[in-house]
Amino acid sequence: MKKVLVITPSLAGGSWIATQKILNTLSEDAQISVVGLGRVTEKNKKLKFYEIPYPKYESWGKIHSKNPIFAILWNLPLTFSFLFLFVTKKPSLVISNGFSSSLLIAPLVKALNSNFIVFYHGSIFGFMSARAKKIVKLLSKYTDLIVVNSIGSKNDIKSLFSSRKIIVNEHFADEIFFKTSIRSESNKKLRVLYVGSLNKEKIFLPLIDIARKLENDNSFKFTFVGRGRDQGEIEKLSKESKNVSYLGYVGDRKKMKKIYDNSDILWSCADETYLAMPATEALASGVPLLIPKYPALHQKNHMKVMIGEEIVPKKVGWLLDTNDVNKCFMIIKKIQAEGISKKMRENCIEYAKLKYSPSNLTQTIDRIMQYL
């Protein structure tokens, strides 16, 4: 059986979940080992893990983006562990979750006759120095394939990598999330859910302000799932208010399905060309969306780009101007008063089937298999 070695700076969070979905399918044809920083929150019998105890990437990982030297220092334990496993396991394919943890090892991987693939979930081009771009472009020749999560990510890096090396693998919801019974309309209590990184760049702080305004109001229930630098705000609020719950990080997909099924609406985030993964899972579960109309990437704060209705059609959710928290508050109050119709829930599921089904994975697997 062919061997695959995966290197990742985090064993939690959206980029890892997206990576693991692909690895689960590849494991049917290959023996896959994963070396990563942090702890696995949900063991996966299809993969062999080598965990390196480390500060949580969601809270501290931004350090390495400040300077290339910081990136090298942050990833040193990961790099040395990878090199040891690479020499001992002799994989035919190396997969990296992200650029920072991998590009410097790409020449060695190719020199020892292994193929090299990068999974990329982010935005780098507009925020990279000219020198850094030259280095990335130089190292790009050692990369066989780049798997990105949207056409926006492809456009972000296509001047650094040959277009023939880039494939778009749109976010999708696992099959479990589509196993949904449509609930009847109910407006007694609005159960608002947030799932994702608890960092302000994900634009969830306005939801905290709204939850504070509705503190102990039995017409609303607020639930937060995730972790990050700003989770202290949620922990404090959940202790002070009877209608706010904080569940921490939930990696188990079955548990997440139950959480979506016990929610009426999801506050999530997006970039201008794609929805965050929790939003796709919510749609598949028949849960409409509340999405800030500004991209959830701090690097884009100065850019005049916005989320459009092509990403969040009115039939499945609401786009929010989070610079006006009072307006967002009134929208949530109105949704609670009017309830969410059965038709809207049906629209969410149909939209998810059209845009975010597991069929999105097929062409990606076909391309990756060429390098096994």
> Do 206 and 303 lie in a common domain?
yes
The CATH number of residue 193's host domain is: 3.40.50.2000
pLDDT digits (tens, 9 = 90+) for 287-307: 999 999 998 876 666 667 789
Q: Are residues 23 and 155 in the same domain?
A: yes
* Domains identified in the chain, total number: 2
Tens-place pLDDT, residues 143-184: 999 999 888 888 888 878 888 999 999 889 999 999 877 766
In a shared domain, residues 102 and 190:
no
Kindly state whether residues 10 and 63 are assigned to the same domain.
yes
Indicate if 246 and 146 belong to the same structural domain.
no
pLDDT in tens, 216-260: 899 999 999 998 888 999 999 999 999 999 999 898 889 999 999
Pair 281, 244 in one domain: yes
**Claim to verify: residue 126 and residue 200 sit in the same structural domain:** no
In this structure, the answer to whether residues 71 and 96 fall within a common structural domain is yes
Q: Does residue 76 sit in the same domain as residue 128?
A: yes
> What proportion of the chain, given as a percentage, has pLDDT over 90?
58
Domain range for 249 is: 175-355
SS3 readout for the chain: CEEEEEEECCCCCHHHHHHHHHHHHHCCCEEEEEEEECCCCCCCCCCEEEEECCCCHHHHHHHHHCCHHHHHHHCHHHHHHHHHHHHHHCCCEEEEECCCCCHHHHHHHHHCCCEEEEEECCCCHHHCCHHHHHHHHHHHHHCCEEEECCHHHHHHHCCCCCHHHEEECCCCCCHHHHCCCCCCCCCCCEEEEEECCCCHHHCCHHHHHHHHHCCCCCCEEEEEECCCCCHHHHHHHHHHCCCEEECCCCCCHHHHHHHHHCCCEEECCEECCEECHHHHHHHHCCCCEEEECCCCCHHHCCCCCCCCCCCCCCCCEEEECCCCHHHHHHHHHHHHHHCCCHHHHHHHHHHHHHHCCHHHHHHHHHHHHCCC
